Chain A
Amino acid sequence: MRRLLGWLIIALLGGGVFWLLTLPRGLAPADLAALPAGDAARGEAVFWIGGCASCHAAAKAKGEERLKLGGGQVLKTDFGDFVVPNISNDPADGIGAWTTADLANAMLRGVSPDGRHYYPAFPYASYIRMQPADVADLRAFLATLPAVAGRAPDHDLRFPFGFRRGLGLWKLAFLSDAPAVDLGEQGPAVSRGQYLVEGPGHCGECHTPRNFGGALDTSLWLAGAPAAEGEGRIPNITGGAGGIGDWSAADIVYFFETGFLPDFDSVGGSMVAVQENLAMIAGEDRQAIAAYLKAVPPHDTPRP
């Protein structure tokens, strides 16, 4: 960490070095060339676990409305207000004209088609762990969704966060496709669950506390965190004190299917949209996520 900080400082001092270090880099040409042709039916499952609708559709959208990805929701954070863009199939206002490579660069590297960095409010710091083939399938599915006209307004960010180039340093320090936790070999269900939770499902983005730099603190993976937006805390979903150690795997799966907690209250807040997405994925995938949550290292809920 020291070394990295040193790097950051040197970078800040030397303008030329800064320029080089912060240069937005997409995937290597060989990786782009290796992207397979996507399959829309498989891509639908990726769409639901990826939770794209939770941010890119209208707030609290239900049913078919979740497929209209016109953007416009505002995410209020410490850095300012992010306005979620239109990623519908509209060729001018949305991403209708994007190639699979464009989407892969955006989701797996946080780089736009015109070579700018995206803000990690778009959870590519998790999506970076996704299989390129899943992104190709997702591209094919997104192409089947309705076009929505209209562009969302610009973000309203505090100084200096409006300066995208600086994100290059953030990425250098924090962006990594390494697994969040090392679970060893625990069988196919746990590995599948690990992929779904740490990659497309981006569960850690809400359930894990952040370090000084705004990156997820993997030493407290899924231990619960203050809500990024508004008040309140996001619960601990490990087996530690304050977590869900007393939920059975069946309780977890039933929660994903229906939104009912084991005490038969119903889910609320920002988890509602997530749960409604999880209700759309394959039953085995819900079981895999439950198996993974049972296998992650238990942490007690950190004191706020």
Chain B
Amino acid sequence: MRGLAILLGGLTLTTAAFAADDPIAVRQALMDNNGAAAALAGAVMKDELAYSPVIGKAVIEALSATAHAYGSFFPEGSNDPARTHASPKIWEDPAAFQAALDKYSADAAAARQASGKDGPADKAAFAAAVQPVLGNCKSCHEDFRLQD
């Protein structure tokens, strides 16, 4: 349940930030939302939370929504190092960043497809659908996010 609360918190935060018209705040809120979705997936995987297709559906939809929106919040100049961990490579090599976004979107679309109208039927089906999407987190961060 804790995971669900975080997820809903994340979703609310996203909406609030959109209103603020601040690309750094928006993209960070989108990522916090991703973090909350990954937390929910992890709670299921670690058996801290009993699986239900509704949870699977919520996780996959949240990840997929971020995948659609995320690339739109990196205008030139939104790289103030005091505020963002976005790597300068995003602007130096936009084609490579776009490729990472495309892969993330494609994996999210495949997961949505697999999840169907009601969400993946059981934990195993959920894991199979969501794990490829979650693989994008680490690989994109490795290439396009600065360490602290």
Min CB gap B52→A, angstroms: 20
Which residue on chain A has the smallest CB distance to residue B134? A258
| 21 A-B contact pairs sorted by A residue (CB < 8 Å) | A60-B142, A62-B139, A232-B147, A232-B148, A250-B47, A254-B46, A258-B42, A258-B45, A259-B137, A260-B134, A263-B39, A264-B36, A264-B38, A264-B39, A264-B42, A266-B138, A268-B138, A268-B141, A268-B142, A268-B147, A269-B147
* Complex: chain B residue closest to A257, CB-CB: B45
Bound Cα distance from A267 to B134, whole angstroms: 12
Closest to B48 in A: A250
* Alpha-carbon distance between A32 and B141 when the two chains are bound, in angstroms: 45
Q: How many A-B residue pairs have CB under 8 A?
A: 41
Q: In whole angstroms, what is the CA distance A40 to B103 when docked?
A: 35
CB pair A265 B35 closer than 8 Å: yes
B145 is an interface residue with CB less than 8 A from chain A: yes
User: Could you tell me the dominant secondary structure of chain A's interface residues?
Assistant: loop
Does the CB pair A272–B138 fall under 8 Å? yes
B138 neighbours in A (Cβ, 8 Å): 259, 266-268, 272
Which chain B residue has the least Cβ–Cβ distance from A232? Answer: B147
B42 touches A272 (CB 8 A): no
Chain B residues with Cβ below 8 Å from A268 are 138, 141-142, 145, 147
Q: Is A251 an interface residue (CB 8 A)?
A: yes
Apart from A258-B131, A260-B134, A267-B138, 8 more pairs, CB < 8 Å: A60-B142, A250-B47, A254-B46, A258-B134, A260-B38, A266-B137, A268-B147, A269-B147
Q: Are B142 and A272 in contact (CB under 8 A)?
A: yes
Determine if B141 and A266 form an interchain contact, defined as CB atoms under 8 angstroms apart. Answer: yes
**How far apart sit A259 and B36, CA to CA, in the bound complex (Å)?**
15
Complex interface: chain B residues within 8 A of A265 (CB): 35
A36 to B48, CA, bound (A): 44
Chain B nearest Cβ from A266, distance in angstroms: 4
Binary per-residue interface labels of chain A (266-283) against chain B in the complex, 1 for a CB within 8 Å, 0 otherwise:
111100100000000000
- What residue in chain B is nearest A259 (Cβ atoms)? B138
List the A side residues contacting B39 at CB < 8 Å. 263-264
Query: Interface 1/0s, chain A 238-250, versus B by CB < 8 A?
Result: 0000000000001
Nearest CB of chain B from residue A228's CB, rounded to whole Å: 15
Instruction: Determine the residue in chain A with the shortest Cβ distance to B36.
Output: A264
Docked pose: A260 CA to B139 CA in angstroms = 12
Nearest 6 CB-CB pairings of A with B = A264-B39, A266-B138, A264-B35, A264-B38, A266-B137, A250-B46
Q: Which B residues lie within 8 Å of A250 (CB)?
A: 46-48
Q: With both chains docked as a complex, state the minimum distance between the C-beta of B38 and any C-beta of chain A, in angstroms.
A: 4
CB interface residues, B 76-129, toward A, < 8 Å: none
A251/B46 in contact, CB under 8 A = yes
Given the complex, which residues of A lie within 8 Å of B42, measured CB to CB? Answer: 254, 258, 260, 264
Complex: chain B residue closest to A273, CB-CB: B142
Q: A268-B141, A268-B147 are in contact. Are A254 and B36 (CB under 8 A)?
A: no
A66-88 to B contact mask, C-beta < 8 Å, 1/0? 00000000000000000000000
Instruction: Specify which chain A residues have a CB less than 8 angstroms from the CB of B36 in the assembled complex.
Output: 264
Q: Which residues of chain A have C-beta atoms less than 8 A from B148's C-beta?
A: 232
Interface-central residue, A250, A264, A268, by most chain B CB under 10 Å: A264
